[in-house]
Amino acid sequence: MRKLITVVLLLGSGAALAAGPFDGTWKARMDSMKVTGKPDSWVLADGMYECASCSPPYKVKADGRDQKVSGHPYYDTVAVTVVSPTAIEVSRKKAGKQVAILNVVVAGDGNTLTGTFKDYTGATVATGSFSAKRAAGAPAGSHAASGSWLTDKMMDANDAATVVSYQMTDTGLSARFNGQSYEAKFDGKDYPVKGDPGGTVVSLRKVDANTVIETDKRQGKIVDEVRMAAAADGKTIAVSDNAVPFAQVTTYTLEKQP
């Protein structure tokens, strides 16, 4: 399952500028998050775990040991552990270093699950929890967590996953979040996200004074198309993140912090 919170706008250093609609520090409001589109899908059966919705898909042994996978910018091994008949853990590493851990537990009715995640790709470990509803059944005899699931609620997440800051000028956006940063102009060219182990580059387009379109790429492919619209009162930013490879759209609200 992919990381459910997308952090996109942040504050860079620089000379003092006139305050703009995006300037400041913001925090994602958990109760505003909604995920639509194609559900996450995986199957654990006969000692094998297959993630059909991962990009690219992979299939590994579910024996708790690191298994090699390829084509993923953030990880090169996956370890899947069967914790119980209703719970599993998925651990991802890159060059032997932990990058993410996901734990999911399926409810007794088999139609809902709760999950917790840890993301190690930033300066501070990002953590959070969520719930998901079953969108499609699982093959007979497979683990209870098998099937298709669509996130329906984010319960909580720490500041490393939710707090962002940024500053915008007439010509570009300078951004910083959880040990990562970028400085990009509104010229459609690609600019690197410094500190990002996945090698993300961003390009920006300014629609109007209050709206910015960000396109993220990894390995030369578009992975996210993000629309950010600042409210006229300067208190919120509406974010819509289209995760292209997953055919999922996540919307949420950023609230300005004191």
CA 155 remoteness from chain centre: 15
Are 153 and 213 in the same domain? no
pTM for the model stands at 0.89
Q: How many domains does the chain have?
A: 2
pLDDT in tens, 207-229: 999 999 999 999 999 999 999 99
Find the Cα–Cα–Cα–Cα dihedral 119, 124, 129, 133, rounded to 10°: -30
Q: Choose among 40, 26, 70, 28: nearest CA to 253.
A: 28
- Same-domain check for residues 191 and 102: no
81 lies in which domain range? Answer: 38-159
Residues 198 and 247 both lie in one domain: yes
Question: Are 47 and 31 within one domain?
Answer: no
Tokens standing for 144? 């209870």
Q: What is the pLDDT of residues 161-174, one digit of tens each?
A: 999 998 999 999 98
Answer for the pair 155, 131: CB distance below 8 angstroms, yes or no.
yes
Which residue(s) pair with 50 in the sheet? 43, 59
Same domain, 48 and 31: no
Let me know if residue 11 belongs to a domain. no
Q: What is the pLDDT of residues 95-119, one digit of tens each?
A: 999 999 999 999 999 999 999 999 9
End-of-domain residue from the set 108, 131, 159: 159
- Is residue 191 located within the same domain as residue 91? no
